[in-house]
Structures are given as C-alpha cells and as structure tokens.
Amino acid sequence: MNNIANNPSRNSPPELSRSERRERALRSVFPLAFDTTPDIPIKEKDYQKITYWHQREWTDAEKARKEAAKKPDSSSSTKSSYSIGVHLRFLEDENGITVTKARLNEMRLFLHRAFTELEKIMPEIIPTSWKTHGEPELMDRCYSDITRRFPELKLCSTGWKAQSLVTDWFPGWKRPRESDKADDSVLPGKRGAESSKASRKRMKKEVTPLPDPLYASVIP
C-alpha cells in the first residue's frame, strides 16, 4: 500500500497516443464530422439552377474571365454587383445565386474559431500549408463538418467547393501566426541591441573628462 501511495504514476491514467489525442482534438473543434446520421444524397438533376456543379465548369469559367479581362474593351473593370471576391463566386445557394458576403463571413468565422481552438489544443497538427501538408484526417473532418453547417457547400460533385474554400482561407489565417513567431524570434536581439546602445551612451558619459581643478584655479 505504501509503495502505491508513494508512486503516483501508478494511479494516473495512461498517456494518450498521438492518434488518440488527434481524435479528441478533432472531435472538439469539428463535432459534426463525427455525427453518424447518414447524409441525404444530393443529385445534380435536383438542382438545375446551380451554375458550377463540377469543378471543371468553374475552372473553364475562370479561364474565360481572365482571357476576357485582357481585352482592351473588357468591362471587367466596372464595379461588380457581387459582394464577394471573384475567385469565390462558385459559392451558390440552391437557386444558383452567389452567396452574400455575410454568409461567406459566417463560413470564415467558423473556420477561424475552429482552427484557433485546434491550435491551442494540438498545435502540431496545424500544417504549414493546407494544400500540400494537411493531414488527411484533419482535412476530411474539416470538410465534413463545414458542409453540414453550410449546406451550400454540398451543392457540387466530389466536395470540391468546401475544399476550395478552406484552401483559399487557410493561408490568410496562417500567415499572421508565422509573422508573429518571426517577430518573437527577433525581439530578444532587438532588445539586446537597444541595451548595448544604451550601455555605450552610459560609458561615453562616464568617460567624459572633468575640468582639472588646478587649471580652473588659475583662470582669471
């Protein structure tokens, strides 16, 4: 009994593996991704007003828009009636109408809160690049959750709209954090330089020669 009491590690729960910690973290920030309720199948024929169901349709439209913008008589410079960026106009509601800026902001706010919380819980799971270094499970859970929260993202084939939205959003969230880390690494040196500069000023002040009292006494 005394040996057990003196060895608290025997009473503590076993340490979770990385995969267990990852699942716990993902459940915390993307709970809807773990909902076992079956999704209702969505078919293209039931949403005839959707302009960009397949990603190639959007890709072709973007290519045509960029080509048209190169022409001198292009009207692309005129103010658009859309309220969201041209690169995200594949986001449509069931009537084929581009989502509002307010709706897009809701999607971005959800992503911001989820990833900020995930960064606190398990920072090592946050990739440097979403497109090239994102863990498959993290990406799948993120896409699954956000499409349940925002049904507009389901209105496509192979889930490409959710993937494109997150891929577009992630660098803007990640970049300031990388900048903050860089600033933190520079600050100690900066403080050291300022301290050294102040020290040199003090030394200069200390070595400034004082008038010799002997010479001072003979000055008329």
Does residue 96 belong to any structural domain of this protein? yes
Name the band, by pLDDT with cuts 50, 70 and 90, for residue 209. very low
DSSP string, 167-207: HHHHHHHHHHHHHHHHHHHHHHHHHHHHHHHHHHHHHHHHT
**Dihedrals phi, psi of 51, to nearest 5 degrees:** -80, -40
Q: How many domains does the chain have?
A: 1
Tens digits of residue pLDDT in 162-192:
999 999 999 999 988 776 665 555 444 444 5
Report the C-alpha gap between 55 and 50 in whole angstroms.
12
Does residue 207 belong to any structural domain of this protein? no
Tens digits of residue pLDDT in 15-29:
888 899 999 999 999
Number of DSSP helices (H) and strands (E) in the chain, helices first: 8, 0
Q: Which domain holds residue 145?
A: 49-66+85-174
Name the band, by pLDDT with cuts 50, 70 and 90, for residue 212. very low
Tell me what the mean pLDDT of segment 203-219 comes to: 42
Does residue 57 belong to any structural domain of this protein? yes
pLDDT at 210: 42
Does residue 202 belong to any structural domain of this protein? no
Does residue 21 belong to any structural domain of this protein? no
pTM for the whole structure: 0.72
Does residue 25 belong to any structural domain of this protein? no
Helix (H, G, I), strand (E, B) or coil at 103: helix
67: left (phi over 0), alpha (psi -120 to 50) or beta: alpha
Does residue 190 belong to any structural domain of this protein? no
**Closest alpha carbon to 26 in 99, 151, 103, 121:** 121
Does residue 168 belong to any structural domain of this protein? yes
Tens digits of residue pLDDT in 94-134:
999 999 999 999 999 999 999 999 999 999 999 999 999 99
Tens digits of residue pLDDT in 42-94:
999 999 999 999 999 999 999 999 888 888 765 544 444 457 999 999 999 99
